[in-house]
Amino acid sequence: MYQDVILDHYKHPHGRGLRDGDAEVHHVNPTCGDEITLRVRYEGSRIADVSYEGQGCSISQASASVLNDLLVGKDLADAQKIQGTFLELMQSKGQVEPDDAMEEVLEDAVAFAGVSKYPARVKCALLSWMAWKDATAQALGESARKETA
Amino acid sequence: MYQDVILDHYKHPHGRGLRDGDAEVHHVNPTCGDEITLRVRYEGSRIADVSYEGQGCSISQASASVLNDLLVGKDLADAQKIQGTFLELMQSKGQVEPDDAMEEVLEDAVAFAGVSKYPARVKCALLSWMAWKDATAQALGESARKETA
Amino acid sequence: MTQTRELHGLLDTEAIRKDFPVLDRLVHDDRRLVYLDNAATSQTPRQVLDTITEYYERHNANVHRGVHVLAEEATALYEGARDKVASFINAPSRDEVIFTKNASESLNLVANMLGWADEPYRVDSDTEIVITEMEHHSNIVPWQLLAQRTGAKLKWFGLTDDGRLDLSDIDKVITEKTKIVSFVLVSNILGTHNPVEEIVRRAQEVGALVMIDASQAAPHMPLDVQALQADFVAFTGHKMLGPTGIGVLWGRQELLEDLPPFLGGGEMIETVSMNSSTYAPAPHKFEAGTPPIAEAVGLGAAVDYLTAIGMDNVFAHERALTAYAVERLLQVPDLRLIGPTTAEERGAAISFTLGDIHPHDVGQVLDEQGIAVRVGHHCARPVCLRYGIPATTRASFYLYSTPAEVDALVDGLEHVRNFFG
Amino acid sequence: MTQTRELHGLLDTEAIRKDFPVLDRLVHDDRRLVYLDNAATSQTPRQVLDTITEYYERHNANVHRGVHVLAEEATALYEGARDKVASFINAPSRDEVIFTKNASESLNLVANMLGWADEPYRVDSDTEIVITEMEHHSNIVPWQLLAQRTGAKLKWFGLTDDGRLDLSDIDKVITEKTKIVSFVLVSNILGTHNPVEEIVRRAQEVGALVMIDASQAAPHMPLDVQALQADFVAFTGHKMLGPTGIGVLWGRQELLEDLPPFLGGGEMIETVSMNSSTYAPAPHKFEAGTPPIAEAVGLGAAVDYLTAIGMDNVFAHERALTAYAVERLLQVPDLRLIGPTTAEERGAAISFTLGDIHPHDVGQVLDEQGIAVRVGHHCARPVCLRYGIPATTRASFYLYSTPAEVDALVDGLEHVRNFFG
Ligand SMILES: Cc1ncc(COP(=O)(O)O)c(C=O)c1O
Ligand SMILES: Cc1ncc(COP(=O)(O)O)c(C=O)c1O
């Protein structure tokens, strides 16, 4: 499961550190103590930044780094599609062999395919993605509230 | 375990029926619903009567009949010895082969030796004996109280 | 005396019995065992034993949280058993299946949850609990304890003379104050199969929860928790070809989410600090400590076994056998059935008295002939009180029982009568 | 790297390992399993499996009350297991041994009894409960629940930097208000073996009950409940070569007589009517429903196995191995032991961190080499909080563990460091 891509992201994480954001969330995986604090900043429906701090295993840390790579600069709809595809891969119990179409969407994140065989680790891989989803809901809910106010 | 002696006592119980007594007790074996109401009458330390009514299995009924045979007319000390010997036999888990000495004490009651192999039935055989012990304690406690009063 | 007419719907018991090593046992030297005590516990097929042994010989580890191979395999097997049970009872979600140690724990679990629950579920001194007079002690005592501890009032449905629930005063028994109605689907002493719909309808009318004790139903007939429309269903592994030490509580998801935990400890938590803890979602919230892992896996194998035969077929087999047994038993002089005297709406447990021969004696003399029945109050003493008897003798069948065994029972009872006659 | 010096007191593991089929398993294609997760669960010897299989193939029946052969045999085997456990822990009376489903149930049982008890045992809002910061969640959450439900105050002993109980303020922690002190004999995460005498002395001084969680002690050393002078002792079958689904609660007879029941149902009653029930004497009072029969019988076989080897010998073996492991692990660069750094007063579970490599990664890479360790908070999250770490990696030994397996672990950790280095 420890693809070089994963180890690279783990040792040299992309976009790490907390910067300005519209919303911040803190997620914990209680079974292993993995933690992430994550902020999102939107410009309209475009993801201007995803910044984060955390501690945890290589899988959870690398996954956050890959997330930053994949989502920053994307439009929300595209980001959601990527998130959905990643979720599908992670829940595949090792049954999905990523094809070209999936690789196109997930880029480096296809390296996590092997992790999906390890139920105890799937949560690690998904930690930052769940945090992002939550932060996005808050950020956009917030601006939705602002707009209707 | 169903010795002829036991079946005889079951079908033709000795001394059954409630007569006058110094104390009455009611004992129940909750696991099978066997019940006995038993009275004892003492003349000094001599057992003048043990009368009883009850319902239950052949073992509990025959055992009460045998008790009546064995104890009525005896002195308390002798009766206690008989009771002790019967208890010992019943708790022997089929390990004790009654010898002549035991037969001398227990008479018909040695027929219960086989019952001691069946833990579920030992309580049936002991029901009336426990009731007698209890009734005796009450009767003599009662008269003791009377004397000291 | 042997069976004279063909029975319809019987299973191929010759094949089935080969799977059950104990059925070949000789007792009292040379008597072939006639095992008619299935309502107390069922026998265990080789397939279940092999599964359990293989679990220990190949995959044994503590479940959840482990990153090593054995822990992952054990977890997959344990959670796989949950999937099997969920589909066996047609549960909407696997997360609604909680593994307990037996049906008694399942029943106590719900009683305790309701005692500690917030509104609208909370049982307290203003509220009422409804059970029936034909419950197993395991569905009486937990509610007596709850009533004592909370001040709630315990009420119950009585029984008719022919062993059925007397629902004539249902609107008075189940009222606006009722918080929970808990009753047995098939009685272990009377054999009665109770009408669910009428009770559920009334309970729903007043907003009471419904718990069904399916301990004697799950082993013997198709069980569909959605069709039952109950809120909780309990049953137990050892009566359905599974091992001892495992029971099931099924509960509706919203309720399992809302209700408080029962036992606290490892596995049931989300996060713990010395000052406070939060709990995992169901089913884990209700599974404190290392669960009965091998037992759940064994129960999964039992469910596979039953499913392969088909619960409809099991039911048909037992129905034919029960009809035959009722018919033959009613021909035994002085025999009085305690419970329904027809095979309609009843399960495969048949209680009776035989003249004034005490059931202990009946059971003992049958045992000497190799015939294993149960005698006593069958953990349902209020039923004995109701019918004014100290105890009953009970014969109970399962998928491996045969008409020849019914014949052996009837012959055995003849012998009992002669013996004590 | 292999072991260089002779260790004293080791068992003949070559012979012992033949009894444990799973130890021959290959994982990840061709890796020999190195099972170092014994604090989570132990493996099961053939003798225990054979006993369980024989139980089902020959004697299976529901216990108590039966008059047929199988029921009598099953009852004798079940109650015989109680005798074995009683003598294993030197209980004054067999009736003080209660079978539960696991140690967690044993702990919850006592917590619940004390909540419902009459004076002088009753835990209520004027009283205090004392535990420690190194407890397993199963000895924390039941007391948190009890405190929440009764209003009692939960207090605890903190830990010293080297992983021992800080008893310096014992007179302030255990006070006249304390009703119960519950603590672990050997910690499953730190390995610490706690001093019993000082705590018991103080508890007795103020009239508090003492409960000891011996889950990690009973499998590994002689356990004498009389010498401990505690009131309750809990442990669990699956950690001591027994099956899952069985635990033990030992309690002093007077207490078991005085305290109220916990779960209600079959087996635990004396007599039941719809209006009220009376309860059987202990141990049955606390064993509602069909007990884990085969599991108790299996635990009896495990106790026989351990007794044949001798608990002193098991202890000596693990002590030698633990000393060797501590010594070798301390040589691994960046490795930090969490818990006592000597083999004195400690059990055979060793927790550590390895630089800033997350335990999940350590465990996974060890697993790829066939080495099974546990990673996480080991159901003792407050310990991780105390030492400011998210989790640990834990290796834990048993009577079949070998110095070669310690060497494999140390080599494996080298590989982990290189991999993430
Ligand atoms: C110290 C300690 N206490 C209690 C327990 C709980 O045991 P069980 O999970 O069998 O209930 C464990 C093991 O998990 C333990 O290590
Ligand atoms: C109807 C019914 N309910 C509950 C139970 C209790 O099951 P268990 O003893 O497995 O807890 C039984 C069996 O004894 C039963 O027949």
**One-character DSSP codes across C228-288:** HT-SEEEEEGGGTT--SS-EEEEE-HHHHHHSPPSS-STTSEEEE-SS-EEEPPTTGGG--
Cα B31 from Cα D269, distance rounded (Å):
9
Q: Do C269 and A30 touch (CB under 8 A)?
A: yes
Of D168, D194, D184, whose CA–CA distance to D236 is shortest?
Answer: D184
**In the block, which residue shows the tokens 């012990």?**
B133
Give the model's confidence band at A148: pLDDT under 50 very low, under 70 low, under 90 confident, else very high.
Answer: low
Residues of D classed as catalytic: 379
Ligand 2 centroid distance, CA of C138 (Å): 6
**pLDDT score, position D186:** 98
**A-B interface (Cβ pairs under 8 Å ≥ 3):** no
Of D138, D71, D99, whose CA–CA distance to D263 is shortest?
Answer: D99
Integer angstrom CA distances of residue C331 from C327, C335, C413:
7, 8, 11
Distance from CA of C166 to the nearest CA of B (A): 25
**pLDDT score, position B146:** 57
Ligand 1 centroid distance, CA of D329 (Å): 25
**pLDDT score, position B141:** 84
Nearest residue on chain C to A32, judged by CA atoms? C65
Of D163, D240, D236, D174, whose CA–CA distance to D210 is shortest?
Answer: D174
pLDDT in tens, D22-63: 999 999 989 999 999 999 999 999 999 999 999 999 999 999
Chain A residues with CB under 8 Å of D359 CB are 32, 57
Distance from CA of A31 to the nearest CA of D (A): 7
Indicate the range of B97-101, C83-87, C109-113, C410-414 predicted with least confidence.
Answer: B97-101
Cβ atoms of C214 and C185 closer than 8 Å: yes
Ligand 2 centroid distance, CA of D270 (Å): 17
Is the model's pLDDT at A146 over the cut of 70?
Answer: no
Is the model's pLDDT at D1 over the cut of 60?
Answer: no
Chain C residues with CB under 8 Å of D104 CB are 263-266, 288-290
**In the block, which residue shows the tokens 């059954």?**
B16
Of D145, D98, D296, whose CA–CA distance to C288 is shortest?
Answer: D145
**A-C interface (Cβ pairs under 8 Å ≥ 3):** yes
Chain D residues with CB under 8 Å of C273 CB are 381-382, 385
Chain C residues with CB under 8 Å of B56 CB are 358, 360, 390
**pLDDT score, position D6:** 77
**pLDDT score, position D28:** 93
**pLDDT score, position A143:** 65
| Sequence-ordered list of residues with C-beta below 8 angstroms from that of D7, at least 6 positions apart, any chain | D320, D321, D323, D324, D403
**pLDDT score, position C1:** 43
Chain A residues with CB under 8 Å of D360 CB are 32, 34, 56-59, 120-121, 124
Q: Closest CB to D22: pick one of C57, C268, C363.
A: C57
Per-residue pLDDT of chain B (149 residues; tens, 9 = 90+): 899 999 999 999 999 999 999 999 999 887 777 889 999 999 999 999 999 999 899 999 999 999 999 999 999 999 999 999 999 999 998 888 889 999 999 999 999 999 998 888 899 999 999 999 999 999 988 666 655 54
Q: Do B121 and D65 touch (CB under 8 A)?
A: no
**pLDDT score, position B147:** 55
| Sequence-ordered list of residues with C-beta below 8 angstroms from that of D67, at least 6 positions apart, any chain | B118, B120, B121, C360, C363, C364, C367, C375
CA angle D205, D206, D211 (to 5 degrees): 90
What whole-number percentage of chain D has pLDDT above 70? Answer: 99
Q: Closest CB to D358: pick one of A30, A56, A120.
A: A56
Rounded to an integer, the average pLDDT of C127-146 is 98
Ligand 1 proximity of D108 Cβ (cutoff 6 Å): no
Ligand 2 binding site (Cβ under 6 Å of any ligand atom): C 102-104, 136, 138-139, 184, 188, 213, 215-216, 236, 247, 379; D 266, 289-290
| Sequence-ordered list of residues with C-beta below 8 angstroms from that of C58, at least 6 positions apart, any chain | C73, D21, D22, D25
Cα D102 from Cα C266, distance rounded (Å):
11
State both tokens at C11: 């299973």
Average pLDDT, chain D: 96
CA C267 to ligand 1: nearest atom: 9
Is the model's pLDDT at C361 over the cut of 80?
Answer: yes
Phi–psi pair at C7, nearest 5 degrees: -100, 140
Rounded to an integer, the average pLDDT of C60-75 is 91
Ligand 1 centroid distance, CA of D237 (Å): 10
Rounded to an integer, the average pLDDT of A93-117 is 91
Indicate the range of B133-142, C163-172, D82-91 predicted with least confidence.
Answer: B133-142
Chains that touch A (3 or more CB pairs under 8 A): C, D
A32 touches D: beta carbon within 8 Å: yes
Q: Do D269 and C141 touch (CB under 8 A)?
A: yes
What whole-number percentage of chain C has pLDDT above 70? Answer: 99
Cα B125 from Cα B139, distance rounded (Å):
23
Cα D353 from Cα D390, distance rounded (Å):
10
Rounded to an integer, the average pLDDT of D153-178 is 97
Q: 3-state secondary structure string, B19-51? A: CCCCEEEEEEECCCCEEEEEEEEEECCEEEEEE
CA D237 to ligand 1: nearest atom: 10
**pLDDT score, position C258:** 96
Cβ atoms of A132 and A140 closer than 8 Å: no
**pLDDT score, position D329:** 97
Give the model's confidence band at C2: pLDDT under 50 very low, under 70 low, under 90 confident, else very high.
Answer: very low
CA angle C102, C108, C109 (to 5 degrees): 90
Nearest residue on chain A to D359, judged by CA atoms? A57
Nearest residue on chain C to B61, judged by CA atoms? C358
Ligand 1 centroid distance, CA of B70 (Å): 56
Rounded to an integer, the average pLDDT of C275-299 is 96
| Sequence-ordered list of residues with C-beta below 8 angstroms from that of A37, at least 6 positions apart, any chain | A18, A24, A25, A26, A52, A53, A54
Rounded to an integer, the average pLDDT of D211-233 is 98
Chains that touch C (3 or more CB pairs under 8 A): A, B, D
Integer angstrom CA distances of residue C367 from A90, C352, C353, C371, D75:
59, 16, 16, 5, 16
What's the ipTM? 0.93
Q: Which element (helix H / strand E) includes D330? A: helix D311-330
**pLDDT score, position A147:** 56
B31 touches D: beta carbon within 8 Å: yes
Name the 3-class secondary structure at D1: coil
Ligand 1 proximity of C264 Cβ (cutoff 6 Å): no
Type of residue at D102? N
Q: Which element (helix H / strand E) includes A41? A: strand A34-43
Ligand 1 centroid distance, CA of D138 (Å): 6
Nearest residue on chain D to B32, judged by CA atoms? D65
Nearest residue on chain C to D288, judged by CA atoms? C104
Q: Do D104 and C263 touch (CB under 8 A)?
A: yes
Q: Do A120 and C270 touch (CB under 8 A)?
A: no
Chain C residues with CB under 8 Å of B58 CB are 358, 360-361, 420
Rounded to an integer, the average pLDDT of D255-274 is 93
| Sequence-ordered list of residues with C-beta below 8 angstroms from that of B100, at least 6 positions apart, any chain | none
Distance from CA of B125 to the nearest CA of D (A): 14
* Neighbouring C-beta atoms of residue A138, cutoff 10 Å: 16
Q: Which ligand is nearest to the CA of C219?
A: 2
C219 touches D: beta carbon within 8 Å: no
Cβ atoms of D307 and D324 closer than 8 Å: no
Q: Closest CB to D65: pick one of B28, B118, B120.
A: B120
Is the model's pLDDT at C339 over the cut of 70?
Answer: yes
**pLDDT score, position C3:** 47
Residue B122 C-beta-side C-alpha neighbours within 13 Å: 16
Q: Do D137 and C277 touch (CB under 8 A)?
A: yes
